[in-house]
Amino acid sequence: MLTYPVQTRSRLAHTVFALLNPIPFGLFVAALIFDAIYACNANVFWVKSAAWLNMIGLIFAIIPRLINLVHVWMPARRSSRVEKLDFWLNLVAIITAIVNAFVHSRDAYGVMPEGVWLSAVTVALIAIGLIVSALQQATTPGGRHE
């Protein structure tokens, strides 16, 4: 079973990427759930927690995204179209999450409705990248080899 979309040429980078890359996605999904709950019940506990989840997700995303940047673009010709697509989807997702971190610095319900929409876009973009990569790997036996 394939659980991550890209591999890398360095074994160390590959391992670190495999370890860290799932973490931001999980945190962003949790932030989306918390935002959705806050949008419904207006208990500030949820939106403050969502702000932390989003921020911690961004911090955990730094290393795997840098590994992915090197892997996809150095040199670019060795990467598949799907890998490049996944890179761009993740980049836009991270930018969305950064904007969302600022939106989540507003007080109380000032976060809504933008906060829950930005959380949803962040999750959707990363999810599309994962889905497209998984489909490609499923149709290419053994994935991509060096």
Other CB atoms closer than 10 Å to residue 20's CB: what's the count?
A: 16
Give every CB contact of residue 140 below 8 A, 6+ residues apart in sequence. Answer: none
Rounded to a whole number of angstroms, the minimum distance from the CB of residue 140 to another protein is: 22
**Does residue 98 contact residue 65 with C-beta atoms inside 8 Å?**
no
71 part of the interface to another protein, by CB under 8 A: no
The token pair that represents 80 in the structure block: 């598949």
Give me the amino acid identity at 85: L
Binding mask 72-101 for another protein (x = CB under 8 A): ------------xx--x--xx--x--xx-x
- Pairwise CA distance, residues 30 & 44, whole Å: 16
The only residue of 14, 18, 20, 48 in contact with another protein, by rule CB under 8 A: 48
Rounded to a whole number of angstroms, the minimum distance from the CB of residue 100 to another protein is: 10
29 or 98, CB closer to another protein? 98
Q: Which residues bind another protein (CB under 8 A)?
A: 42-45, 48, 51-52, 55, 84-85, 88, 91-92, 95, 98-99, 101-110, 114
